[in-house]
A and B are shown apart, each in its own frame.
Chain A
Amino acid sequence: MSKANPYRLMQGNEAVAEGALAAGVRFFGGYPITPSTEIAEILSVRLPELGGKFIQMEDEIGSIAAIIGASLGGAKALTATSGPGFSLMQENLGYACLTETPIVIVNVMRGGPSTGLPTSPSQGDVMQARWGTHGDHPIIVLSPSTVEEAFFYTVKAVNFSEKYRNPVILLLDEVIGHMRARVELPPWSMIETVNRIKPNMPPEWYVPYERSSMGVSPMASFGDGYRYHVTGLVHDIKGFPTGKPREAQENIFGLFKKIERGFKEVCLVDYLEMEDAEHAIVAYGCMVLSARSAMEQLRADGVKVGMIKLGTLWPFPRFALEHFLPQLKTILVPELNMGQIYREVVRVNSGQAVVEKINKINGEMISPDEIIKSMRGLTR
């Protein structure tokens, strides 16, 4: 047994908490819920040690309100929840989108709808993460598929939210949240962190929603001496409500443009054995684990199958698929929902390859064997 063992046995939720701290999150407002509870539990101990703040709110409506307020006050802020709590957060999620307040919401998905299957895995909130709050808006949604990724994607989620002044949703599923695995994480000093751009002009010159050439406006922290107005109404560049079509268009288009500019950066995709693949499995979250195992066994049997692993779900990384469509005969999309990303794949595929799905909504994983069976049926 070596003295300096670099490896740790870590749980997915623990990795999220570690990642949040490494990324500079110093405020957590939340309401514990299975299967995300460990994130709150760990941060309730660690944040005060690091001079941060942990507050258990009365519910999830209060939780997201608290992190929005903390972020406006200058802190990197995060909350963690599961489906029922995520539903309650939808109204204020829209508020964070329109006010361009950087926040990170971790949703460790469990079976739904409603209270559902509290301790079982699901991927049922993919579309809710995209469209749960009303009104047309862009959103960034990341989905890690290993414990290590849970750490690194949390760092990325915080970085993206700071860089683009946009809410970022980290969608875990119960499998990734609760699985334990051996990990080796870098020291915090090795981790790249991004901080929001702050105004460098005197307070009287500050125009809070005037976009820089990068499409994002500098963000003053409340208490820094910069007075500005924050509203959920569509607003002009000074932050005050407007009903003028030109200003309304500029406001909403601006939200889309900043994410379009960063499209390639925020799209995290990995390709496994895709060079010569004739068949592809498109997978994310815990389905990557089953798919990888299935792929290894199919490859051993000579089936030319690869995997397109989606780390980002929204904006949908359509280029990842488009690049390989000319060489693909079939695409298989295993999901723990009735086919929420499957429909995106069908849309991008536009009739080129044969697209099939495997779905489960009973609280069980789709096993590698089920994927193998389905793939064999398709490749026969």
Chain B
Amino acid sequence: MLMFKQVRLSGFGGQGVILAGTLLGHAAIAEGKWVAGSNAYGAQARGGNATAEVIISNQKISFPHIITADLLIAFSQSAYNRYQADLEGEQTMVVYDPLLVEVDQQKKIRQIGIQATELALEHYDNKQAANIILLAAAAALTGIVGREALEKVIHEKVDKRFVELNLKALSLGWGLGEKLTA
């Protein structure tokens, strides 16, 4: 299993990028790891760039920003364009939504498309679930956090009205990720 430690999630404000990053952090805490992270976003409520950085480690983390990313979860073309150059070598991966991102085929790392938005619309008639589908698929692909921990934090941290939807999205995304690792 590759060791993924520095994760960047990036897209537009309103897509749930920050929430997905926060859930990832809480899940790693639930597994007893050290976590640090921060978010960057514009002044707009929707539509600006939104980026979450999550660093997961077995030891205390002294610097809360990503130095070199291991995993990019891209929710938009601009996010991919801006951050893909950070990823180099076999130890890195991009997980993206092909509806929103066209990847550079020349890039020699694993780039995995998950039809998150289309699946969310098809299954739940709600594209807001795409963030969890992508996160779950990325987690299943990389092993950065376990499914049980993600389920736990969805129960604890997500608004009650959306727990069920997010659990379904988790299950769907996890299944897709698992299939691709096999």
Q: Which residues of A approach B to under 8 Å, CB–CB?
A: 1-2, 5, 7-9, 34, 118-119, 175, 178-182, 289-290, 292-293, 296, 365, 367-368
Contact = CB atoms under 8 A, between A and B. Distances in A.
B113 to A, nearest CB: 29
Nearest to B153: A9
Given A8-B29, A9-B26, A119-B42, A365 B35 contact: no
Contacts of A8: 29
Interface of B: 22, 25-26, 28-43, 61-65, 67, 148-149, 152
A5 B38 contact: no
A293 B30 contact: no
Looking at chain A's contact residues, the main secondary structure is mixed
A180 B36 contact: yes
Contacts of B39: 178
A2 B43 CA distance: 39
Contacts of A118: 43
Counting from the closest, the 7 A-B pairs by CB-CB distance are A293-B63, A179-B38, A9-B29, A118-B43, A179-B64, A181-B36, A292-B62
A179 B37 contact: yes
Given A7-B32, A118-B43, A181 B62 contact: no
A290 B38 contact: no
Contacts of A181: 35-37, 61, 64
Contact of B43 (A9, A34, A178): A34
Nearest to A2: B32
A119 B43 contact: yes
29 contacts: A1-B30, A1-B31, A1-B32, A1-B149, A5-B32, A9-B25, A9-B26, A118-B43, A119-B41, A119-B43, A179-B36, A180-B22, A180-B25, A180-B35, A180-B37, A180-B38, A181-B35, A181-B36, A181-B37, A181-B61, A182-B29, A182-B35, A289-B62, A289-B63, A289-B64, A292-B62, A292-B63, A296-B62, A367-B65
Contacts of A2: 32
Nearest to B21: A180
A264 to B, nearest CB: 28
A161 to B, nearest CB: 29
Most chain B CB atoms below 10 A, which of A1, A2, A182, A289:
A182
A292 B26 CA distance: 25
Contacts of A9: 22, 25-26, 28-29, 35
Contacts of A367: 65
Nearest to B33: A182
A7 B172 CA distance: 29
Contacts of B148: 1
A174 to B, nearest CB: 9
A108 to B, nearest CB: 13
A181 B53 CA distance: 12
B62 A293 contact: yes
Nearest to A118: B43
Contacts of B30: 1, 5
Contacts of B29: 5, 7-9, 182
Contacts of A296: 62
Contacts of B33: 182
Contacts of A368: 63, 67
A311 B106 CA distance: 49
A285 to B, nearest CB: 13
Most chain B CB atoms below 10 A, which of A118, A119, A368:
A119
A145 to B, nearest CB: 11
Most chain A CB atoms below 10 A, which of B35, B63, B149:
B63
Nearest to B24: A9
A178 B31 contact: no
Given A2-B32, A5-B29, A293-B63, 9 more contacts: A1-B149, A34-B43, A118-B43, A119-B43, A181-B64, A182-B29, A289-B63, A289-B64, A293-B62
A182 B34 CA distance: 6
A365 B40 CA distance: 12
A9 B30 CA distance: 9
A119 B38 CA distance: 12
A119 B42 CA distance: 6
A156 B152 CA distance: 34
A7 B36 CA distance: 13
Contacts of B26: 9
Contacts of B149: 1
A179 B53 CA distance: 9
A204 B63 CA distance: 58
B32 A178 contact: no
A9 B27 CA distance: 9
A2 B41 CA distance: 34
